[in-house]
Amino acid sequence: MNHKRESSRDAGKLEGRYANHFKVGHNNFEFVIDFGQFYPGSEQARLCTRIITSPIYAKALLETLRESIERYEQAFGTIQND
């Protein structure tokens, strides 16, 4: 499966959101990934986006993130998990 397709030229029209809170769930058929924001003093995270995808595309996302983090660390150094 080729998951590395060219992005749309309309990417400038996308809405950007900051996320520092992530929740992932799954069943036999799909993965559900919630993105949100959590700040000190808040009782809970504010969820802003939910992505639902198939297991094969979730795995493609994992590989894409892994490759991107490797390139980032080669350019800027190891990301610390403090």
pLDDT-derived band of residue 12, with 50, 70 and 90 as boundaries? confident
- b/e per residue 67-79 (b: at least 16 CB within 10 A): eeeeeeeeeeeee
pLDDT surpassing 90 at residue 36:
yes
pLDDT-derived band of residue 56, with 50, 70 and 90 as boundaries? very high
Average pLDDT in the chain? 91
pLDDT-derived band of residue 16, with 50, 70 and 90 as boundaries? very high
What are the residue boundaries of the structural domains of the chain, listed by start? 18-76
**Average pLDDT of the residues in 26-35:** 98
Q: Which pTM value belongs to this model?
A: 0.78
